[in-house]
Structure 1
Amino acid sequence: MTKVLLAEDDPTISDPLARALRREGYDVMVRADGVSALAAASTGPDLVILDLGLPQMDGLEVCRRIRSTGIVVPVLILTARADEVDTVVGLDAGADDYVTKPFRLAELLARARALLRRSSSDEGQGARVRIDAAGRRAFSGDRELQLTAKEFDLLRVLVREGGKVVSREDLMREVWNTVWVGSTKTLDMHVSVLRRKLGDDATDPRFITTVRGVGFRFETDDGDF
Structure 2
Amino acid sequence: MNEMIRMENVNKSYFMGEESLHVLKDISLTVEKGDYLTILGPSGSGKSTLMNILGCMDTSDSGIYQFNDIELNKCTNKELSWFRNQKIGFIFQKYNLIPQYTAMQNIIMPLLIRGITRNEAVKKADKIVSLVGLSDRIMHKPNELSGGQQQRVAIARALITEPSLLLADEPTGSLDSATGKDILALFKKLNNNGNTIIVISHNNQVAKQSKRIISILDGKLIE
TM-score (norm 1): 0.28
Q: Which has the higher contact order (CA 8 A, sep 6+)?
A: 2
Which has a greater percent of strand? 2
